[in-house]
Structure 1
Amino acid sequence: MFAALARLSLVTRIIIAIVLGIAVAIFFPEFASNLSIFGEVFIKALKSVAPILVFVLVLASIANFSVGGGHSAKIKPIMAMYGIGMFLSALTAVFASILFPTTLLLNVPADAALQPPGSLTEIFKNLILSFVANPVTAISEANFIGILTWSVALGLAFRHASDSSKLFLNDAAAAVNFVIRTVISLAPLGIFGLVAVTFAQVGLSTLASYGQLLAVLIGTMLFVALVINPIMVAFVTRKNPFPLVLKCLRESGITAFFTRSSAANIPVNLDLAKRLGVPESTASVAIPLGAAINMAGASVTITVLTLATVHTLGIQVDFLTMVIVSIVATISACGASGVAGGSLLLIPVACGLFNISSDIAMQVVAIGMVISVLQDSTETALNSSTDVLFTVAVDQAPTK
């Protein structure tokens, strides 16, 4: 039986875990509490690996990025589209969160210190103090803003290091990816325990809550794919964007939906870019770079789940603060892992703006894993199809 389960995809196993967890909660509610250990261990494992994951992957990505003079003329506008697209995606998620506020089911300690930021000045003060935190302390305390700062700074410094040092960083990133894949492979067991306990405690009302959360997430990503991206492509190419947009969604988005990995979809995107006339010198840099840092779907996930957490905890924020959340989500999304569920581990970065504890933030990550069957697949489809879409758009842009 275990061998048969191991042969199933992660998505299938998560679906089975959710169904079994609901069944246990309905038919054996008195037994469900005994299963909490599975969910607790899974959340603990996520909390342990997330800081190292962000630090190593961002450091290695920046240290090994090099653009030759032959393609820099097109790489720069592609990178600009990546950044603008992620920010607009996060901003779209802000409006969606305002229009459809979502409440999560969180286990908030009675003595939790949840002080909303008093002013914009206080937010910037917290940001600055987080930026200059000791790197060891930042990792040990899961201060993701400090972790991002140090990983970027060291990544820039390592760009001048020897090739052997950069190779070591790549090997370290691969090793961390292996660890996170191992942790995420345990997701079905952890989700089984989480679902069983949650549904036994609150009943089937959880379905409605997750249903709204999924609707906001997927609806926002579809809006980005079918409205925001076409507008950007039309601005760059000066022609009807939908033939290109739909082709990228069909030939890149569908495969990414099922592989749930932007990295795994790189060969598909390179082949599509080649067939659409993009020079290999441009595609070979832009497509892998996009798989590492172009995460429009991740910025949507981070923003929506963070603001849902803020709404659940009753923290009042103004629109300007939400724009800042969009900026943080955009920056954080660049550090999302290339494996399934990577963006969820960046949620604590944005939650840190509101002094939300790591324990609560990782509960939100666990909720994200429960809905990741659809959320992460849709997110990856948006991320990966946008890589090749923006690359082709810049290549097809009329010359001045």
Structure 2
Amino acid sequence: MLRNIGLLPKIIVAIILGILFGSFSPDSFIRVFATFNGIFGNFLSFVIPLIILGFIVPGIGSLGKGAGKLIGWTAAIAYFSTILAGTVAFFVGQAVLPQLLTGQSLVDAENPEEFLLSSYFEVEIPPIMNVVSALILAFVIGIGLSVLKEKALYHVFVDFQKIIEKLINNVIIPLLPFHIFGIFANMTFGGQVQTIVSLFAKVFVLIVILHITYLLILYLSSGTVAKKNPFQLLKTMSPAYFTALGTQSSAATIPVTLAQAKKTGVKESVAEFTIPLLANIHLAGSTITLVISSMGVMLLSGNLPTFAEYLPFILMLAVTMIAAPGVPGGAVMAALGLLEAMLHFDQTMISLMIALYLAQDSLGTATNVTGDGAITVFVNRWIKERKEKEEKVQQAG
């Protein structure tokens, strides 16, 4: 029965139950889950480098295949869109979040762990390599595979990616509700729940507004370039948006996204090429969610990040999420290493990020796939202009 319930309802139930049990349970009960959270958190730290290798290597390696310039232009537009989304989210967050979260803080002490009950015991699970080493190794191998003609090693990493996907689907995702239950029970016990619930509500509203605004920017731009009604384009792509809300997966929504993209008037061959590619490399909505959520968590922890500190994170985020698996929570799993290495998130902050992101995952995914339609219109226009120039050159010759 529980297997048929989606991840989002499980997360919501876990948060509610965590708050309820944290309000009246004895500290011995809370410490049981604190022990579980400690072990699970260490396991996540162990898995993060493996996730980085499993996602990034096949993702970058696959970009070497196919139609050369078309891949390059599509990837460049998608990458620019993702970075722009993250940048817009940062400046909006910097302007709005401090006012929304005025007077709110996770702790009064310098150490954010002081309000949490400690575990009964700890199990150390050291990672096989640190996050930075995993990122560099993934880029080196991925770029190398993209230029090699032999694909034996590439297929090895594709199989490794499948193993990591199964690990996420069958171990991490099923255990996340228990992890989040433990975090919220512990925070409620420590008197922090009001601050966290307030953060969730305010961040949720801000992210929804940003998603809608960014989609309008994308479609106003693509409609202007293609000389088409942007609102009609957006209406045509809306079935993909609502399908993604239910599936929480860009990959699972590809058939609907592809069908609707063809209805926008782009060439079928263009849509058939760009939509599957963009499902893996264009994550503007997820980036908005990750940036705003991480800024909210940092502000509650007493930090106000500058753009100079955040830009490298956004640039790396746009690459790291390439080929994140088509499963709920794939983007935040891929981003955990960056949050730890570049923004210095501890286990408590990472746990809050996972909860914040998963509560809004479907909205980010819906924005991702709907934005794919706008980028397909851009690419279709570029191909059309290129052919027109070639025809003029031939006629002049």
Give the TM-score of the pair, scaled to structure 1: 0.80
Which residue in 2 is equivalent to 1:209? 199
Cα distance, 1:276 vs. partner?
A: 3.9
Q: Does 1:94 align with 2:86?
A: no
CA deviation string 1:68-119 (max 9, x = no partner): 44xx45444332321121111001111122122356737988499xxxxxxx
1:303-342 CA distances to partner (integer Å, 9 max, x unpaired)?
2233334434444554444444433333334364432112
Paired with 2:284 and 2:380, the residues of 1 have a C-alpha distance of 20
- Separation in 2 of the partners of 1:311 and 1:373? 20
Equivalent of residue 62 in structure 1, options 60, 65, 71: 60
d(CA) in 2 for partners of 1:269 and 1:392? 13
Q: How does 1:15-34 map to 2 (within 5 A)?
A: 15-28=12-25, 30=27, 31-34=29-32
Secondary structure class of the residue paired with 1:263: coil
Q: How does 1:340-351 map to 2 (within 5 A)?
A: 340-345=328-333, 346-350=335-339
Deviation at 1:396, TM superposition (A): 4.7
Distance 2:39 2:11 in 1: 16
Deviation at 1:275, TM superposition (A): 3.9
Could you list the runs of 4 or more consecutive aligned residues of structure 1 that deviate by over 6 angstroms after TM superposition? 106-109
Distance in 2 (CA, whole Å) between partners of 1:53 and 1:214 is 27
Q: How does 1:270-285 map to 2 (within 5 A)?
A: 270-285=258-273
Deviations 1:215-247, CA, capped at 9 Å, x for gaps: 333332222123x21233134323331211232
Q: CA deviation at 1:294?
A: 0.9
**Secondary structure, counterpart of 2:354 in structure 1:** helix
**What corresponds to 1:40 in structure 2?**
38
Structure 2 spans left out of the alignment, 5+ residues: 114-125, 389-397
Pick one of 262, 275, 295 that aligns with 1:287.
275
Aligned residue in 2 for 1:219: 209
Is 1:339 paired with 2:324? no
Alignment of 1:1-400 (within 5 A): 4-28=1-25, 30=27, 31-69=29-67, 72=68, 74-99=70-95, 100-101=97-98, 102=101, 105=106, 110=111, 140-143=128-131, 145-159=132-146, 160-182=148-170, 183-202=172-191, 203-226=193-216, 228-248=217-237, 250-315=238-303, 317-334=305-322, 336-345=324-333, 346-350=335-339, 352-354=341-343, 356=344, 360=346, 362-396=347-381, 399=385
Deviations 1:31-60 (A, max 9, x none): 434332343333333222222111121101
CA offset digits 1:327-383 (Å, max 9, x no partner): 3333334364432112223144155335x25xx1x4333213323454111111111
TM-aligned CA distance change 1:261 to 1:108, over 3 Å? farther
Distance of 1:290 and 1:8 partners within structure 2: 28
Shift of 1:20: 1.7
Partner of 1:130: none
Please say if residues 55 and 147 of structure 1, whose CA atoms lie closer than 8 Å, have aligned partners that are also in contact: yes
Q: In percent, how many aligned pairs have the same letter?
A: 24
- Aligned-pair RMSD on alpha carbons? 3.0
Higher mean C-alpha deviation, range 291-300 or range 365-374? 365-374
The separation in 2 between residues aligned to 1:316 and 1:189, in whole angstroms, is 30
Separation in 2, partners of 1:214, 1:194: 19
Structure 2: distance between partners of 1:29 and 1:204: 20
Change (3 A) 1:287 1:218: same
Paired residue type of 2:261 = A
SS in 2 for 1:262: coil
- Partners of 1:195 and 1:300 lie apart in 2 by 24
The 3-state SS of whatever aligns with 1:242 is: helix
Is the CA contact (8 Å cut-off) linking 2:59 and 2:322 kept in structure 1?
no
**CA 393–316 in structure 1, closer or farther in 2 if over 3 Å, else same:** closer
Q: Which has the larger radius of gyration?
A: 2
- How many pairs are equivalent? 363
- C-alpha contact (below 8 Å) 1:303/1:329 kept by paired residues: no
Change (3 A) 1:13 1:317: closer
| Greater alpha carbon shift after TM alignment, 320-329 vs 377-386 | 320-329
Aligned to 2:117: none
Match in the other structure for 1:128: none
| Matches of 1:106 and 1:255, distance apart in 2 | 40
Cα gap change, 1:237 to 1:275, in 2 (>3 Å): closer
Report the counterpart of residue 122 of structure 1 in structure 2: none
Separation (CA, whole Å) in 2 of partners of 1:328 and 1:252 = 27
TM-aligned CA distance change 1:188 to 1:163, over 3 Å = same
